Homo-oligomer: A and B are copies of this chain.
Amino acid sequence: MINKAGREIPQFIDDYKDVSPYAGAFESLGERIKTTAKIKSFVPGSKKLLATIDEAIEKTGLKDGMTVSFHHHLRNGDQVVNLVMAAIAAKGIKDIHIAVSGIFAVHEPLVKMMEDGVVTKVTTSTFNPGPVAKAITAGKLKKPAVLMSHGGRPRAIECGELHIDVAFIGAPSCDEYGNMNGTHGKSACGFLSYAYADAMYANNVVAVTDTLVPYPCCPIEISQEKVDFVVQVESIGDPKGIVSGTLTITDDPIRLKIADDTIKLADAAGYIKNGMSFQTGASSTALAVAAGVREIMKERKIVGSFGLGGIHSYFVKMLEEGLFKNLFDTQCFDIEAIRSAAKNEKHMGISGSQYANPHNRGSVVNNLDLVILGATEIDTDFNVNVITGTNGVIMGASGGHSDCAAGSKMAIIVTNLTRKNFCIVRDKVTTITTPGETIDAVVTEYGIAINPRRKDLLEAVKNSDLPIIDIHDLKTLGESLVGEQTNCQVTDKIVAVVEYRDGTVIDTVKMPL
């Protein structure tokens, strides 16, 4: 069947839930039922502290075919996935579904586990390009990977589509009874937002910590009544991989021009104003946009409402300068963000569900004015790909991309029109992450294309000197520079299912030929 994004979707996908095709960004809403959760009562005097991960595997009854979950706030420094999965593999347990909110290069040991049948399914919301993503693309996983957005993951957990048998939560600070936070301790990584749903709904919850603090841990992010067991290990992560020092703004003149035009566009559209809310990723171009918006806000004495998302030092600076009243944080991107999260009550950690779940009573993305997003490809219907390269190899996942695009009043894609010999604007993107109906504009070094659905925006900029261009012309221009583009050839084998944030299937990733 053809879904609303124009993609051919099978009616049935092996080893995947019932397929519900993408039907439009706001079509699959209405009333929803949150699922049940199974809890074992703990009587006074019972202990939660276990000596080893092995013991946690035994006590939780972890066995073949189960789903185990992890969060990714330790990023490329994470040791929890590797520690736990090595222990699971050593016990001869097979057919594990790993539901981890993000996968990094450090998780390379999963590749062999995929080959050995220890890991047969992966559900994730973030990748960085690397061995696991490559192995999934190459068909090494028995069952298709499921790629969700940051809002889609807690939605799936809360409605029971993603049932977790054992959640292992890396806890930078934890007490013996399971109260924990992510903002303190030698392996502090910032708020544990993406683990909150796991702690609420998993049948078993195990905290894995390298910093056991006296009871009670303070502040408490995930509280004791949700935690079955606590395991102390030597290290949950390598601080060097957990965070970059401080992220940096691009010094490339082309990207600076893109950033500058983006700011002018947002300003012309009226989104740089008192009470504004704003999210950017941590790319060097996005940070240049943040830096430029900051200058305007200071100059015009604008006070914004909130900065949102993965939080970086530029947003921290804007908070501390009073340019934002608050930050809403779901993960810390750098050391400054972690420092601020630990000490500034205006810098608030929120759950993935509060951030972006479309099936609750209104997540924060619904209150977002302006978001700056990236793309590996964008098509003439404004559909965006951040999942695969043009060669079909998985190199990312939605993260908050499709969530923020849907929720925000203005979603701008910033990208060079061409990279190497690729034109980013295409007839059809290789994989759809974010539907075009939720994207408002794309800013390139060769011009700004505005989604024709946004007549108000076209009207707002018509007397400006912004280089507005039709997206088809932008594609033609790009192809005149690097040649006509074709999509990669693929086999019939589905290696990943791309879920839209509401759990419908917006696309699939097939193994390249």
Contacts and interface: CB of A to CB of B under 8 A. Distances in A.
A359 B41 contact: yes
Nearest to A40: B31
B357 A225 contact: yes
A478 interface: no
Identify whether the interface residues of A are mostly helix, strand, loop, or mixed.
loop
Nearest to A41: B29
Contacts of A42: 360-362, 366
B366 A39 contact: no
A362 B31 contact: no
A32 B42 CA distance: 11
B39 A177 contact: no
Contacts of A82: none
B406 A44 contact: yes
Contacts of A363: 224-225
A362 B46 contact: yes
Indicate the member of A228, A325, A366 with the most B CB atoms within 10 Å. Answer: A366
A406 to B, nearest CB: 7
Contact of A214 (B32, B36, B220, B275): B275
Contact-residue size bin, chain A (C-beta under 8 Å from the other chain)? 35 or more
Indicate the member of A32, A45, A216 with the most B CB atoms within 10 Å. Answer: A216
Given A218-B346, A350-B223, A34 B33 contact: no
Interface in A339-359: 345-346, 348, 350-351, 353-354, 357-359
29 contacts: A30-B41, A32-B38, A32-B39, A33-B36, A33-B39, A34-B36, A34-B37, A34-B38, A39-B360, A41-B360, A41-B361, A42-B360, A43-B366, A44-B366, A48-B362, A214-B275, A214-B305, A215-B367, A218-B346, A223-B354, A224-B354, A224-B364, A225-B351, A225-B360, A225-B361, A225-B363, A226-B360, A226-B361, A227-B362
In the A-B complex, the 6 residue pairs with the smallest Cβ-Cβ separation, listed nearest first, are A42-B362, A29-B41, A225-B360, A34-B37, A44-B366, A225-B354
Interface of A: 26, 29-46, 48, 177-178, 205, 214-216, 218-220, 223-228, 275, 305-306, 325-326, 328, 345-346, 348, 350-351, 353-354, 357-367, 406-409
